[in-house]
Amino acid sequence: MPQTHLIAANWKMNGVKASLPIARTIAEQSRGLQARVALFPPATLLPLMADVLQGTDIVLGGQDCHHADSGAYTGDISAPMLKDAGASMVILGHSERRHGHLEPCALVARKSLAALRAGLEPIICIGETLDQRQAGLTIPVLSRQLADSVTSDLKGQAFHVSYEPVWAIGTGLVASDAQILEAFALIREHLDKHFGTNAPQVLYGGSVKASNAAHLLALEGVGGALVGGASLTVEDFMPIIRAAD
Ligand code: PEP
């Protein structure tokens, strides 16, 4: 039986209380559709959005978490705090964290364990930069990210991996079918080797939108999409959710 697609909305640093009706409408319009839909609003909106989404099938998640459960880490948010705020998933290792906040793979791995301790399902992102791709380093870069941030400590746990070429995020550029299939084959090999039959779902992220979603989701092995810009409005996001049907 084909796996249900996971369609994840990464709102990044966008959204205030006035944005809550977007979540409500997405929940209403997603009722009866096949996809598993997850919204990742800024942390400030989590408890309010949890109220709005109560009784719906929409899953809520955080955009990052600290590796420690609590402590003297000014400005950070822990996995238990996300859980307490209504989240059941968390995005980790997003390129905007890896590059904007210089987060190494080992830290992403520690954060994943913190997420699992708190009962959150991590979506662990990996992806190469344009310079790395042009230098012919895509496969070694992805292999290192898989080895160091998707470690066998996750065995038996519920988690996902998202392939997000950094050059495709927010740029309007989409990886070609061949580029996606090559990356997915590598990811699958790593997951099959370390996680066997319980190998997790693999998503694609990078300028997914209404016009390309059905095509991308139909590619062999693509278990869903992580969507940034096109997840911010009902008009842009709903066609992507419907494309997973
Ligand atoms: C993302 O933020 O993970 C992403 C893929 O963004 P966009 O869809 O805007 O490229």
Q: What's the CA gap between 137 and 158, in Å, rounded?
A: 29
pLDDT of residue 2: 60
Answer with the residue of higher pLDDT: 197 or 76: 76
Residue 205 beta carbon below 6 angstroms from any ligand 1 atom? yes
Give the length of the chain: 245
**pLDDT exceeds 70 at position 1:** no
pLDDT digits (tens, 9 = 90+) for 165-180: 999 999 999 999 999 9
Residue 205: what residue type?
Answer: G
Percentage of the chain lying above the pLDDT 90 cut: 96
Nearest CA to ligand 1 atom 2: 228
Whether the pTM exceeds 0.95: the reply is: yes
> Mean pLDDT over residues 8-14, rounded?
98
**Ligand 1 pocket, residue 206 CB under 6 Å:** yes
Rounded Cα distance between 41 and 50, Å, is: 11
For 89-138, write each residue's pLDDT tens digit: 999 999 999 999 999 999 999 999 999 999 999 999 999 999 999 999 99
DSSP state, residue 2: P
Instruction: Detail the residues annotated as belonging to a binding site for substrate.
Output: 10-12, 170, 207, 228-229
Quick check: CB of 15 below 6 Å from ligand 1? no
Assigned fold of 6-243:
TIM Barrel (3.20.20)
Q: Is 72 exposed, middle or buried (CB count within 10 Å of its CB: 0-12, 13-18, 19+)?
A: exposed
CA 195 to chain centre: 19
Instruction: Enumerate the domain spans of the chain.
Output: 6-243
ipTM: 0.98
> Are the CB atoms for 91 and 226 separated by under 8 Å?
yes
How is 147-208 classified by DSSP, letter by letter?
A: HHHS-GGGTTS--EEEE--GGGTTTS----HHHHHHHHHHHHHHHHHHHGGGPPPEEEESS-
CA of 19 to the centre of ligand 1 (A): 19
Nearest atom, ligand 1, residue 168 CA: 10
Q: Are 202 and 223 in contact (CB under 8 A)?
A: yes
Q: Do residues 225 and 208 touch, judged by C-beta distance below 8 A?
A: yes
- Whether the CB of 170 sits within 6 Å of ligand 1: yes
